[in-house]
Structure 1
Amino acid sequence: MAVIEVGRVCVKLTGREAGSKCVVVDIVDSNFVLITGPKNLTGVKRRRVNIMHIEPTDKTIEIEKGASDEKVEAKIKEQNLTDFMKEKVKVNISVI
């Protein structure tokens, strides 16, 4: 099982959306993935991000590769993860 896979719920670690949850929609290459919140649910816009800027959670949703925001949101509601997705996470940034 891959840690970063289509449908994996993750937390953004950097940027203005840090602490918000998102869903991996597509794997671009070994360093980048396409994510979405969806924006009207979590505030995370659909975008390409470096995998070093997200942290996977233990939750997944069953979506196909490249699923639309509407389909992702429907699956989140179907699995009763709406409240989980809306919760912000305190991101702990430590400099080594």
Structure 2
Amino acid sequence: MPAIEVGRVCIKTAGREAGKVCVIVDILDKNFVIVDGLVKRRRCNIKHLEPTEKKVDIPKGASTEEVKLALDAAGLLKEE
């Protein structure tokens, strides 16, 4: 399983945004991260994320615009 790290592209597996692509923007503690991307920016339990092999180059705490630009550059911005 890929590491939980800033910039890691994930798929949400639970909640109303399940199945959507998101990016880890910040790590809060061992259980929670901040995600953004094709989902609303929010705190998320890592048990509700499926990390992928892909990673985008963003700084810790990147803005929503920076995340969307990085996803677009990686070709991952299409709505699923």
TM-score (norm 1): 0.77
1:81 CA drift (Å): 2.5
1:4 CA drift (Å): 0.4
1:61 aligns with 2:56: yes
Which among 33, 45, 67 is matched to residue 72 of structure 1? Answer: 67
| Identity rate, percent | 56
2:17 counterpart letter in structure 1 = E
Give 1 or 2: higher strand fraction.
2
Q: Structure 2: how far apart are the matches of 1:82 and 1:49?
A: 20
2:55 counterpart letter in structure 1 = T
Unaligned runs of 5+ in 1: 88-96
Give 1 or 2: higher helix fraction.
1
Aligned residue number for residue 10 of structure 2: 10
For this pair of structures, how many residues does the alignment match?
A: 79
Q: Structure 2: how far apart are the matches of 1:52 and 1:45?
A: 18
Q: Structure 2: how far apart are the matches of 1:45 and 1:61?
A: 18
1:76 CA drift (Å): 1.6
1:75 CA drift (Å): 1.4
2:25 counterpart letter in structure 1 = V
Indicate the structure (1 or 2) with the bigger Cα radius of gyration: 1
Q: Structure 1: how far apart are the matches of 2:74 and 2:6?
A: 16
Unaligned runs of 5+ in 2: none
Q: Structure 1: how far apart are the matches of 2:26 and 2:46?
A: 12
TM-score (norm 2): 0.91
